[in-house]
Structure 1
């Protein structure tokens, strides 16, 4: 490899332009769905600049395992590299989606379904607690260095999935669909304290209403349900922080499943992506 100043390859050497384009496609798939980078508030020009910068920085890692003599930009390699990058970003987005789903459940359970606010990340109207959970989770993810973990995963993915290597995209995407079931599991786990608290509150109010019919239970039920629900929601936030503590392991497990389903040797991926 021609490696002149600063450790970067000669971009005019044979195979280097193809490798750069394929690397940019893999990074582009990541930026397409990864938390924070995929936000609509990020200008397209800035997103494109980040894509080019990341592709240049990751190109030496890609060339270490790629066969430059066989690299070619074809529809198959175009889709394969994009899908690999998409998988890297999608695996990171699962945690944020699970927390957002928990916010949706909590909002509906408490009785705040009509309280929708503007989501600055996606430029849409969402439930108030869902927006709070999304912003909080993305913030914690960035504080924990999640964006660095994703870039390291892209760099190490070239060991398990070299540029231009064949990828069984149908089975790989199927593994991602199966992994998306964790959204509902984690969301229900995060929202479980709120659901349990509201269930007990409604049960207690129902018993009180039967024991003392003269009391105006309905006038007390709504504010009491909101107050108890918000207190339970505040206590459940620790579950999100605890889940983010093991985020990198879950991220590596999801990617290892993708690699196995895509018929690429799983052993290097397990060591590289975790």
Structure 2
């Protein structure tokens, strides 16, 4: 019955769209919530039509029944969500670095609207995330994200259920690497803040009558903003280098 409704070409496009569309929901740059959903949907459909002839040899034949077709679609959607989630988790290193900067510089209470998550967030965290998103477009790193989705057919064969245990392990290690990268990016402010608070403790002991908090707060904010200004270029270069190396892992060559 399904053979009479769907041709092999339409089925191939539909299978490719299941993987590409599910990945584009979560991927950084392409899957941001503030982008027009219709534009993202149209881009996923066009890319699926373009990619379908190249991956048609590895696409399984149209199943004779509905449960078989739903099984194939579930596998494709699972693979697409896995790739998008891994890329999104690694991108959140910018948010981690910004949160550390905000906390150690005394700007943790400076909250503004976060267009990436449609909620409120720390000022520096949102700034670094938006700046990193811009750099991904400027350096054409979003092309690597698209290639990772398109060339995933070499790593994940359509119709073959992926190893969920290995996928979970990859996501767990990606989360650990994300926190590690975020802490590395914020390491200058961590070292300076530690020395600054030690000196404040000594000053409070030497001069108990001095209001250390009122003296330290403006100085703490100035030091934090100065370090952010002087280390931002190196910080973003380090992020782009590590992020590109992470995405290249999903490419077969």
Indicate the TM-score class for this superposition, using the shorter chain for normalisation: 0.7 to 0.9
Q: Select which of 221, 231, 235 maps to 1:239.
A: 235
Counterparts of 2:168 and 2:208, CA distance in 1:
57
> What is the Cα deviation at residue 205 of structure 1?
1.9
Counterparts of 1:161 and 1:214, CA distance in 2:
67
> What is the Cα deviation at residue 182 of structure 1?
1.4
Counterparts of 2:185 and 2:64, CA distance in 1:
46
Correspondence for 1:65 = 58
Aligned length: 246
> What is the Cα deviation at residue 154 of structure 1?
2.1
Contact in 1 for aligned 2:29/2:136 (Cα 8 Å) = no
Counterparts of 2:64 and 2:36, CA distance in 1:
32
> What is the Cα deviation at residue 84 of structure 1?
1.5
Correspondence for 2:134 = 139
Matches within 5 A, 1:21-100: 21-68=14-61, 74-100=69-95
Q: Select which of 8, 17, 20 maps to 2:13.
A: 20
Counterparts of 2:7 and 2:40, CA distance in 1:
28
Counterparts of 1:93 and 1:113, CA distance in 2:
23
> What is the Cα deviation at residue 86 of structure 1?
1.8
Matches within 5 A, 1:1-274: 14-68=7-61, 74-237=69-232, 238-253=234-249, 255=250, 270-271=252-253
> What is the Cα deviation at residue 60 of structure 1?
1.8
| Structure-2-length-normalised TM-score | 0.87
Contact in 2 for aligned 1:101/1:130 (Cα 8 Å) = yes
Q: Decide whether aligned partners of structure 1 residues 71 and 21 sit closer, same or farther in structure 2, where only a CA change above 3 A counts.
A: farther
Contact in 1 for aligned 2:189/2:224 (Cα 8 Å) = yes
Q: Which runs of at least 4 in structure 1 moved beyond 6 Å after TM superposition?
A: 69-72
Q: Which runs of 5+ in 1 are unaligned?
A: 1-11, 256-268
Counterparts of 1:64 and 1:189, CA distance in 2:
44
Root mean square deviation of aligned Cα:
2.3
Q: Decide whether aligned partners of structure 1 residues 71 and 177 sit closer, same or farther in structure 2, where only a CA change above 3 A counts.
A: farther
